[in-house]
Amino acid sequence: MVLKIDFREILRIFNERLRIDQSIIDLANKYGYLPYMISRYIDMLGFDETIRLLEAFDNKNMYKPVIRCNDLRCSCRKITESLERLGFKLSPIEWSPYSYKILRSSSTPSIGATHEYLKGCYYLYRDAASLIPSIALDPRPGDLILDTCASPGGKASHILMLMRDEGLLIANDISRSRLSALKANLERMRFTSYIITRYDGRRIHEIFNEEIPKIILDAPCSAEGGIMFDPGRKRRTSYEDLMKLVSREIELLSSSVEALAPGGYLLYSTCSIAPEENEFVVSKILEHYKEKIEIIHIRNNIWDRGLRKFLGIEFDPGVEKCIRIWPHRHSMEGFFICLLRKR
């Protein structure tokens, strides 16, 4: 049975532990945040490192856009040479084959308007962190994979490339408007081994009951890890709004677990640094499914591990096998990545 928790219950759990004093209010006002956000950062990182995080969010020059070559259609060497002739300066990403940071851009054309982009030779990301979930899922040629919330197609197109466009990707999303972007990206990059579906991810188990060997759920979230790209997020999401997202994320992940075949792998990710959306969600799923689900260690010598404790709440010990990306430590958008396996 899919796990559902009323957001008011989640809000009560965290609200009674949240501490906000005048110093936190002053710091929130100085950097333009809601006070509850600052209180949480200090609990996770301490005061001095919280300042580093806030400054990193304000330093847009730290973050570089990224392209991932579609080597099924175009030569990476020819793509990079062509872009460099246009005035772009690229640097390869060591941990992500076929991917390059854009260190310097051309005045014209923009990186999203070159002939190579329009021909589907590469996908454009605002940051490198979005590459990690697809790599961690480890797609292989011939796989059957479900992308529960696939739009606009960054992870879907990455998975299809890693599958060598062999097998089947079910690219699902509930939003009709976002599906048009997904369709456009997959068609532009000339993939063929996919179908697009429109269904509520919280009910995806009604279609696929323990049938899918690999699932990726990049959950719709607060995007609290991407404040550098959208400073309005400093004050946009109230704590109550955050808990509504958490409630939905628990239901989405639970439904994906129900759709997962025994022995299958499920990759859960968010572009958020909020433990409520990450370690808390995963811990609740582990508690609900007990011996049925386990966390798989993601090999990693670069990024941080999941948090064991937050606001006095102890999370499942397995969350230390997950990955955390911090903007001030890794010069990337904040992200959380967790790989689960159904026994």
Catalytic residue numbers read: 271
Q: Distance between CA 179 and CA 151 in Å, rounded?
A: 6
Closest CA to 333 of 256, 235, 221: 221
**Any idea what DSSP says for residue 117?**
H
Q: Which residue do the tokens 């969350």 mark?
A: 319
Closest CA to 41 of 31, 56, 23, 53: 53
- To 10 degrees, what angle do helices 239-259 and 279-289 make? 40
Report the DSSP beta bridge partners of residue 309.
314
Q: Distance between CA 221 and CA 16 in Å, rounded?
A: 23
Q: Distance between CA 56 and CA 327 in Å, rounded?
A: 6
Closest CA to 275 of 209, 225, 321: 225
Q: Which two tokens stand for residue 79?
A: 């793509």
**Any idea what DSSP says for residue 224?**
G
Q: Which residue do the tokens 């797609």 mark?
A: 139
Q: Distance between CA 101 and CA 67 in Å, rounded?
A: 7
Q: Are 116 and 55 in contact (CB under 8 A)?
A: no
**Any idea what DSSP says for residue 129?**
G
C-alpha distances out from residue 260 to 20, 166, 228, 317, Å: 41, 20, 35, 23
Q: Are 202 and 227 in contact (CB under 8 A)?
A: no
Q: Which residue do the tokens 């304000």 mark?
A: 58
Burial of 229 (0-12, 13-18, 19+ CB in 10 A): middle
